[in-house]
Amino acid sequence: MHRSVFAPAVALLFCAVIVSTAFAQAKPAAQSSAPKPAAQTSPPPAAPAKFVAPVKGVATIEVLRGPSKKVGKELVTPLKIRNTSKGSIALLKIDELWYNKKRDMVTAGDFRYKKPFMPGEIIDVEIHSPIVGEPDVSQLTFTHANGKVEFKAVKKFE
């Protein structure tokens, strides 16, 4: 058999070019002789985020609920939520079910908070539900990745 010598030679040349460009160093920038002003110091580095173990089982939150509004073809419900648990809440999920005057469910909306919800943290949430039929009243349910969420409706956070 005749083996081609041309293909390995091209591959070797290609690798040599890639390696030489990878190890090439840029020339250092010329430094000016003027000293830096002392007032332009860099800000201190941000503190690293602390790990807070997630709640297993029942978590507790406080909810400040705003009035629901019709915006186009949607009902928008604003909420402010504060974590009152000792641990973080993983994957908080909020479901809002809308009922008509006969108490038949007509529409629903949901919200998912994918970051860890830290103790004492307050988040702003808007739940969007499509308008179907004539919604009258709604019900909120809260869950998280490791269990249920008990909530307390408040008029302001203390």
- Whether 80 is in a domain gets the answer yes
pTM recorded for the entire structure: 0.67
Q: Could you list the residue range(s) of the whole structural domain that residue 129 is in?
A: 59-153
Residue 35: the pLDDT is 56
Q: Is the pLDDT of residue 28 over 90?
A: no
Residue-wise pLDDT tens digits, 116-147? 999 999 999 999 999 998 999 999 999 999 99
Q: In percent, how much of the chain has pLDDT > 70?
A: 71
CB neighbours of 16 closer than 8 A, spacing ≥ 6? none
- Whether 30 is in a domain gets the answer no
Residue 44: the pLDDT is 74
- Whether 110 is in a domain gets the answer yes
- Whether 116 is in a domain gets the answer yes
Residue-wise pLDDT tens digits, 80-102? 999 999 999 999 999 999 999 99
Residue 45: the pLDDT is 72
Choose among 120, 112, 47, 132: nearest CA to 87: 120
Number of domains in the chain: 1
CATH of the domain at 107: 2.60.40.10
- Whether 9 is in a domain gets the answer no
